[in-house]
């Protein structure tokens, strides 16, 4: 049996397709409008990787900010539940999960019984999320992926004092006009983003092993800054951290189908 999950956020769409709990294919795309169209496109791309059609998907669940805009979903599942389900499948030893997406942050602990314990969630501030990094990268006129890798070698990070994305963008442009190196500027931004995330983390106990998921987990310099500030190393989950929510949705779709057949 084949199952799928679609995690439709505000700036990216993710799909995971599984068989017997193993990932057959996954896909991530970014979009600026038309979430329904993005959901269609990301699923078609994932299916094409393994030569499947939508008719061969036995059940699909959607999750994320745009979960109700996924036309082919058979149901929905909460984002936190999806991330937790995927983590329990990938690495049962994980005790703290930090999920940082395009517009939201959540962190939670998993107790000895595998249940969610302490929880911290925020979606009211862009700083410390992928959207903030994307806005700054656009201001620097470089792809965020390239900046995140190249800024690892920055020699003189330039602190950015503003935490409002609009004012921070203006401050970045002023720094560029003042002749500061773009990599130094982005390194300073990354440090500020990491500091904001650490501030959110103070609301729960951080217990190793720790996993970081979501699109920001693919940002090399933010990850480095977080590991240094927290004094730890994030666990390697063995999959794209941005598709964790979609994977969890697919696993829950499988759970539901198997439960209904009993």
pLDDT exceeds cutoff 70 at 56: yes
Alpha-carbon distance of 104 to 9, in angstroms, equals 10
Q: Could you state, in order of their start, the residue ranges of all structural domains in the chain?
A: 1-91+240-262, 93-236
pLDDT confidence bin for 261, thresholds 50/70/90? confident
Mean pLDDT confidence for 111-132: 79
Question: Mind listing the pLDDT tens digit for each residue in 127-185?
Answer: 557 788 888 898 898 899 999 999 999 989 988 877 677 788 888 889 989 999 999 99
One fold for 1-91+240-262 and 93-236: yes
Degrees to nearest 5, angle at CA 24 with 2 and 61: 50
CATH superfamily of 93-236: ATPase, nucleotide binding domain (3.30.420.40)
Average pLDDT, the chain: 92
Tokens standing for residue 103: 């517009």
**Alpha carbons within 13 A on the beta-carbon side of 91:** 20
pLDDT recorded at residue 123:
63
**Is pLDDT above 60 for 125?**
no
The fraction of the chain above a pLDDT of 90, given in percent, is 69
d(CA 16, CA 27): 7
At residue 101 the predicted structure's pLDDT band, cuts being 50, 70 and 90, is confident
State yes or no: cis peptide before 163, omega within 30 of 0: no
Q: Are 29 and 38 in contact (CB under 8 A)?
A: yes
* DSSP secondary structure letter of residue 113: T
More confident residue, 123 or 35: 35
Measure CA 68 to chain center: 19
Instruction: Please write the tens of the pLDDT for every residue from 215-245.
Output: 999 999 999 999 999 999 999 999 999 999 9
Q: Could you say which architecture CATH assigns to the domain 1-91+240-262?
A: 2-Layer Sandwich (3.30)
């Amino acid at each position: 049996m084949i199952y799928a999950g679609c995690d439709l956020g505000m700036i990216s769409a993710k799909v995971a397709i599984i068989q017997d709990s193993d990932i057959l294919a996954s896909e991530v795309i970014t979009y600026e409008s038309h979430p329904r169209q993005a959901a269609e496109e990301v699923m078609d791309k994932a299916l094409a990787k393994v030569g499947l059609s939508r008719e061969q998907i036995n059940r699909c669940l959607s999750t994320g900010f745009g979960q109700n805009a996924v036309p082919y979903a058979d149901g929905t599942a909460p984002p936190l539940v999806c991330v937790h389900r995927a983590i329990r499948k990938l690495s049962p030893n994980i005790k703290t999960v930090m999920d940082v997406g395009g517009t939201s942050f959540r962190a939670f602990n998993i107790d000895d019984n595998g249940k969610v314990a302490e929880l911290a969630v925020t979606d009211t501030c862009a700083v410390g999320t992928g959207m903030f990094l994307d806005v700054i990268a656009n201001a620097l006129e470089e792809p965020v992926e390239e900046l995140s890798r190249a800024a690892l070698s920055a020699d003189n990070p330039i602190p950015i004092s503003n935490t409002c994305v609009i004012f921070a963008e203006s401050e970045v442009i002023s720094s560029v006009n003042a002749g500061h190196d773009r990599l130094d500027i982005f390194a300073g931004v990354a440090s500020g983003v990491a500091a904001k995330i650490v501030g959110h983390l103070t609301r729960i106990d951080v217990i190793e092993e720790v996993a970081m998921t979501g699109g920001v987990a693919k940002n090399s310099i933010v990850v480095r800054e977080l590991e240094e500030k927290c004094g730890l190393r994030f666990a390697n989950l063995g999959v794209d951290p941005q598709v964790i929510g979609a994977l969890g949705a697919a696993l829950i779709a499988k759970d539901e189908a198997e439960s209904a057949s009993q």
